[in-house]
Amino acid sequence: MFSSRVPRELAPNRLSAAVAARRAATRPYLDLTTTNPTMAGFVYPPDMLQALADDRGRTYQPGPFGLRTARRAVAADYARRGISVAEDRVVLTASTSEAYTLLFKLLCEPSGDEVAVPAPSYPLFDHLTRLDGVRARPYLLQYHGRWELDAHGLDAAWSERTRAVLVVSPNNPTGSRLTAFQSSPCTRTTGPSVSHSRQRARARWPRPGSSSPTRASTRGSRSSRRR
């Protein structure tokens, strides 16, 4: 008997069943859900795997946040893209799913705490949160020619138990990216509020040292202006 963290329903859904039928019929099809970069027809540099033969690989150097040299390389790559991140702020995990589960454990109590999850987005969020005893509460993205984060949608999904907001950029499956303006509501967790509609801004965000979110208004403030 499995725990309640595991889905009760294990039968394939309609989409999986349709894909399986198509594959079984060996008819050509274009799978737009493919996210495995090794199956997407990319041409990799022929010497890419040579680094795996580096002699330094013989020494096991456990580091919970990842190899220092690798974290430094990631920070340098961000810097090349114009984003300043200290290498101490970079944590490497074996997969994105592992990063989610570490963050859920770090931030959420397994007794009803919630994370806000974009919709539409990655369908496995429901399962990943449930596996950690956390509730996924959807916040709706808006479509205006492209999918955008909407502060009112985020506000509507906020509850007393919200501990984190998941933001995916580029998003799966919409491919939409956050602009600096759109991401501002998600990065300001310490200030009084955030969010926007040209002249008006209102949202709820936890303050440092506070266990519950705080509602505040930033009407006409600088943080509410479109950048």
Ligand X SMILES: Cc1ncc(COP(=O)(O)O)c(C=O)c1O
Residues that bind ligand X (CB under 6 A): 35, 95-97, 122, 168, 172
Nearer to ligand X, 130 or 207 (CB): 130
The least distance separating ligand X from the CB of residue 88, rounded to whole angstroms, comes to 23
Nearer to ligand X, 104 or 196 (CB): 104
Q: What is the 3-class SS of 51-85, one letter each residue?
A: HHHCHHHHCCCCCCCCCHHHHHHHHHHHHHCCCCC
Structure tokens at 109: 């109590």
Q: Please return the burial class of 191, using the count of CB atoms within 10 Å of its CB with bins 0-12, 13-18 and 19+.
A: middle
The least distance separating ligand X from the CB of residue 10, rounded to whole angstroms, comes to 20
Nearer to ligand X, 122 or 158 (CB): 122
The least distance separating ligand X from the CB of residue 193, rounded to whole angstroms, comes to 27
User: Between vectors from CA 66 to CA 129 and to CA 133, what angle results, nearest 5°?
Assistant: 15
Nearer to ligand X, 36 or 61 (CB): 36
How far is CA 106 from its chain centroid?
Answer: 15
The least distance separating ligand X from the CB of residue 140, rounded to whole angstroms, comes to 17
